[in-house]
């Protein structure tokens, strides 16, 4: 017999710890260990450098972070019956109410900010590496 999985909990895990794949562990998805291992490896490599925020490894961490935000939104906005059919063996017992709506709003605000920051950092990094910012002071 499988345990009941909460749509609110999986949405929160995806929004807050999605970069590490915590929601994958909660849903018992295959490959959760690989997702976590890749993220931990990128983070360890970035932190081993003196300027950790300007390494390609740190910039690559924005990909799983964005994936976590997107999955959080998907879990929040899909109907309870879809979630139960997929993750609770078709037993319709999820009654979420306003929780996922609030999580979706906060995830959109925070996730958009993080994704825009990641894109800006990537563009700056690429421009510096190509020499397009030589002579500019910022």
Per-residue pLDDT of 103-129, as tens digits, reads 999 999 999 999 999 999 989 888 888
Task: Give CA–CA dist 39/67, Å, rounded.
Answer: 12
Residue length, the chain? Answer: 138
Q: Which residue has the tokens 């979706």?
A: 104
Reported pTM: 0.84
Query: pLDDT-derived band of residue 70, with 50, 70 and 90 as boundaries?
Result: very high
- Token pair for residue 133? 């910012």
């Amino acid at each position: 017999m499988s345990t009941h999985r909460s749509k609110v909990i999986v949405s929160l895990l995806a929004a807050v710890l999605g970069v590490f794949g915590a929601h994958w562990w909660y849903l018992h998805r295959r490959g959760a260990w690989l997702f976590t291992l890749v993220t931990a490896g990128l983070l360890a490599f970035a932190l081993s450098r003196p300027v950790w925020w300007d390494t390609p490894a740190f910039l690559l961490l924005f990909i799983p972070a964005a994936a976590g935000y997107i999955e959080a939104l998907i879990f929040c906005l899909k109907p309870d019956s879809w979630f139960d059919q997929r993750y609770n063996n078709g037993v319709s017992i999820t009654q979420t109410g306003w929780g996922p709506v609030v999580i979706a709003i906060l995830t959109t605000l925070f996730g958009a900010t993080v994704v825009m920051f990641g894109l800006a950092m990537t563009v700056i990094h690429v421009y510096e590496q190509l020499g397009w910012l030589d002579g500019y002071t910022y």
